[in-house]
Structure 1
């Protein structure tokens, strides 16, 4: 699958209401939000939530809590090292997006993902580890769908993933995709998005376009891995994590994307 450069839709969204139930813990030199399934002190299945550019607060925490209710240990590492974007700063044009992107390259983010996987497999002795990635975080689900790393992946409206990364996956992937147009951000370079996971897509997503989806299908078929792609009409890039859930169609699509991820992990882990 291919995706284009970040767009304005990557930097906008809605704050969801709720009281997070998990805890902020320290893993190596970064913080992480941990949501544990009730009554299960030694889970053998865990999922890492790799966030969008808004980081670990608060929408991602609420999603992690909802997944934990379904029986999985969820760990949400701070991929952005306390440098998350705020919707208010973006709206006020108080952030230089190009400079922000340059501070969060693979060299900056990959060590955090690797340390989280190691923490689960070594420190907690978790046998089955998967990841769910939203927008920015989707790239790192794809990169680590390999033996000894991630056993399964799910991504929603992904960005920044390369064709080579998608073609190299060794484990199953599910995708959720969205359908409403937003304007691409004029970044300096073009990023392609490829994934071996469950992918949720939107119908009019300029980041993960129809052409991207079709190309991704060809690449995923070539990997020989099990995959799934669900397309949600009339919702925007970001709907699965930061959509306006006061709108019935957006709420329905978000809930269905969540159900897709739960069913995928129940099937593949």
Structure 2
């Protein structure tokens, strides 16, 4: 498997604070956080981690992409049942395996597909990119493999299979942590081998000094971690600018 199932490391990190510029709307029956200029012909589908679209971390990242000229849609993948932000000492009470059982591929993928279909109908974008963090990375990979989006960006992926990566031939950027039991060295190497064999345009950057979740839940008071998060974001922006036409 190119990345392993989620674990407790998917629940750790720091909640980010700050004013947001987007809004929560009903998007064709799916609650979503949206940000940016609706007239933009470049749209990003933002597929979240297990904390969902209501966590400020996801909203602030969506606003950052919107500030680069994209219209960003962050759908609720979990029907109002995202994992609540939980203090570290209470992580054992979250019940992650049971939660994952309720929010399987068969439940989440139809939501992603529905939102993507409406994006294409509503905005007729010249190109569509998708960004996925942790759990959300799996769905970006699947959309790329089915050629339903043009460009993908993922960070510290989980639940991605080799078979899913085998189907990816469209541009993909991966941001990885050096220390990550979900996407360790051997999985990164295997992913690179598959993408190279496919002739895919890809970029994999590994950031030292950070762990799984860094691209969206890093502690901004730690200089090396803050640097990694910011570099990962701007690398995604640069990749989109190159390949989203």
TM category (shorter chain) comes to over 0.9
Residue 97 of structure 1 is matched in structure 2 by 96
In the other structure, the counterpart of 1:192 is none
Contact conserved, 1:147 with 1:170, CA < 8 A, in 2? no
After superposition, residues 37-76 of structure 1 pair within 5 angstroms as 37=37, 41-56=38-53, 57-76=55-74
SS of match in other structure, 2:204: strand
User: What is the Cα deviation at residue 262 of structure 1?
Assistant: 0.2
Deviation sequence 1:49-90 (CA, Å, 0-9, x none) = 110111112100000001100111111011122111123277
The CA deviation at 1:29 is 2.5
Tell me the secondary structure at the aligned position of residue 143 of structure 1.
helix
State the partner residue of 1:127: 126
Between the aligned partners of 1:130 and 1:36, the Cα distance in structure 2 is: 14
Query: C-alpha distance in 2, partners of 1:239/1:11?
Result: 11
- State the 1:120 CA deviation: 1.2
The 2-side partners of 1:113 and 1:33 are apart by 14
CA distance in 1 between partners of 2:12 and 2:60 (Å): 18
- TM-score w.r.t. the length of structure 2 is 0.95
Q: Is the 8 A contact 1:154 1:174 kept in 2?
A: yes
1:98 Cα offset (Å): 1.1
Residues 22 and 34 in structure 2, CA contact (< 8 A), matched pair in contact too: yes
Q: Measure, in 2, the Cα distance between the counterparts of 1:26 and 1:165.
A: 31
The residue aligned with 2:150 is 151
Q: Counterparts of 1:175 and 1:13 in 2: how far apart (Å)?
A: 20
State whether structure 2 residue 191 is matched by structure 1 residue 216. Answer: yes
Conserved in 1, the CA contact under 8 Å of 2:131 and 2:154? yes
The structural deviation recorded for 1:5 is 2.5
Distance (whole Å) between structure 2 residues aligned to residue 36 and residue 207 of structure 1: 32
Return the offset for 1:223: 1.6
Q: What residue ranges of structure 1 are gaps of 5+ in the alignment? A: 179-202
**CA offsets 1:181-224 (integer angstroms, 9 cap, x no match):** xxxxxxxxxxxxxxxxxxxxxx1111101000111111111221
Measure, in 2, the Cα distance between the counterparts of 1:91 and 1:26.
35
Q: Aligned partners of 1:24, 1:156: CA distance in 2, in Å?
A: 24
- Report what 1:249 is aligned to: 224
1:168 maps to what in 2?
167
Shift in Å, 1:268 = 0.6
Q: Unmatched 5+ residue regions in structure 2?
A: none
Aligned to 1:183: none
Query: Is 1:35 matched with 2:35?
Result: yes
Question: How far off is 1:115 after superposition?
Answer: 1.2
Q: 2:20 aligns to what? A: 20
* Length-normalised TM-score, structure 1: 0.86
Partner of 2:236: 261
Number of corresponding residues:
242
Aligned to 2:8: 8
